[in-house]
Amino acid sequence: MLHPRLRYHQPSRETSSAVHETGLCVYGGTSAGVIAACQAVRSGLKALIVEPGHHLGGMTAGGLSLTDIGNKHAIGGFSREFYRRVGRRYGVEEEWRFEPSAAEAVFQELAAEHGVSVLFGHFIAGAEMEAGRIRSITLENGARIRARAWIDAGYEGDLLAAAGVSFTVGREDNSVYQETLNGSQVRPTHQFDFPVSPYRREGAPASGLLPGIEADEPVEGRGDHRIQAYNFRLCLTNRPDNRRPFPKPVDYDPACYELLARYLRAGWRDIWTKFDPIRGDKVDLNNHGAVSTDFIGANHAFPIAAPAEREVIFQEHVSWQSGLHYFMANDPSVPEEVRSRYAAWGLCADEFTATGGWPHQLYIREARRMIGDAVMTEHHCRGHQVADDPVGLAAYTMDSHNCRRFARDGRVWNEGDVQVHDFPPYPISYRAIIPRRGEAENLLVPCCLSATHIAFGSIRMEPVFMVLGQSAAFAAALAVDRGCPVQEVNYAELRKVLLDHGQILGGVAKARSAQAGE
């Protein structure tokens, strides 16, 4: 562990018999969760956030500082207001390349400004259902929350699962929804550009495979339990007065990076592509290439694991990725010109100060996905099928990071990366953020929404999560006011409210998916 406070799950030793009453309970203080809670207050509901961690803002405040946009014209409402509030901190109209601390400060200000209560450090233990509605949830410490409406704004989908809502994990077979980009995919992007031996002893199959490499070859388009890789989005600087050298993990083992060492020996040098500049003389470091910050294949158990099991997976990701950076900056097997340039970078002393400069938020790119009466698919992304009840637009590439490594023809391959763009912004159905009829009549789900693996890869961007969080809050307020299930909210009435508050529901021209500034 890099720092004793760098934890996913650290249950409280104290028990509680407290009962909290609220109009809307938002489980998950992600970007979507904060926006949803604040919008609920604006709509007249008392709102409470239950956040399992200790920070607000999810990935937006957790290292994902170069915003994945797709098309800025598709982002409206409270989501756009957030980026303008961040911009004001830098003296500009809006900002999409910001420091994590600036984003977290804005989320904290929003919660305080709207009088939103936040319970930090609490995981859900169970849900009490009554006549198809969530009546209350119990937290791990024994405290209970009662609310009239609920929003699961977590990246994991723990509340929807506790409420018995239908969900799936992994990649659908292409045949399920007649897609072309789901299931196993072996593509040239983020692939090994040079042949690298997958065996423990190079060129010796009898020695066995290196850790993390599978023997079974994929079948194109076949569904499975696998999900795209996780990593930490690091905030780095090369300014000596603010730089913390990459720390050496206590369990550091250079043998864990043998695949990377071989790839470097083979000639790979495209290392610096995703050192993306942000404010403050800093960069947002993301995965790039065949061997990078993604811990490929190490997260498949995470979505439905118990919190304690997730803590183990979380710490494995911390250990592996921190060891990778130490390896690159210090190991003599790394070419000197690469090693010295890498060592000039480090964690920021003024970011994530409670955890030694390391982000507190693991990038959970995909976990549970709800199965609703409407399922967003590749056909929606391409415009071949159009939702007639939109609550926001998505515009990003159909994007999946790699899901596994395997051996073929004496070399290692990555599998699962997909990057397909060249389609206009498309509507996201209201029915994709609510459970099926007959399931959890007072729950909305803006993050783990109803979508196939490949469509979710396009929708799952932080600005869109904020858009859907706001729309979910409007729908929750209408359902409470009208005394009806969320499945029976009058869409025409909801649509008018959304448009009146600046939500973009259509009419945006085609533009290639992009990141901030493009």
- The residue type at 185: Q
| 518 pLDDT above the threshold of 60 | no
| 517 pLDDT above the threshold of 50 | no
Closest residue by Cα to residue 162 from 133, 207, 125, 190: 125
* Confidence class for position 516, pLDDT limits 50, 70, 90: low
Contact status, residue 62 vs residue 361, Cβ threshold 8 Å: yes
Instruction: Kindly write down the DSSP assignment for every residue of 250-261, as one continuous string.
Output: TT--GGGGHHHH
CA distances from 87 to 63, 91, 95, 284, 448 (A): 17, 6, 4, 17, 28
- pTM, 2 dp: 0.98
pLDDT tens digits for range 162-191 = 999 999 999 999 999 999 999 999 999 999
Distance between first and last Cα of the chain = 37
CATH number attached to the domain at 19-170+421-500: 3.50.50.60
| SS3 state of residue 454 | helix
| 512 pLDDT above the threshold of 70 | no
Structure tokens at 116: 């939103």
pLDDT of 10 reads 87
CA distances from 476 to 127, 432, 443 (A): 18, 15, 8
Count of alpha carbons within 13 Å of 35, Cβ hemisphere only?
32
Structure tokens at 133: 């509605």
- Phi/psi of residue 363, nearest 5 degrees: -80, 90
pLDDT tens digits for range 272-298 = 999 999 999 999 999 999 999 999 999
CA distances from 349 to 199, 241, 282, 495 (A): 39, 9, 11, 45
| 83 pLDDT above the threshold of 50 | yes
- Phi/psi of residue 435, nearest 5 degrees: -65, 165
Mean pLDDT of the chain: 97
pLDDT tens digits for range 262-272 = 999 999 999 99
Work out whether strand 443-444 and strand 398-400 pair parallel, antiparallel, or are unpaired: unpaired
Q: Domain locations in the chain?
A: 19-170+421-500
Q: Across 78-223, where does the E strand assignment appear?
A: 117-120, 124-130, 133-139, 144-152, 167-168, 199-201, 204-209, 213-214
DSSP state of 486: G
pLDDT tens digits for range 444-472 = 999 999 999 999 999 999 999 999 999 99
Closest residue by Cα to residue 493 from 482, 483, 485, 502: 482
239: number of Cβ within 10 Å: 15
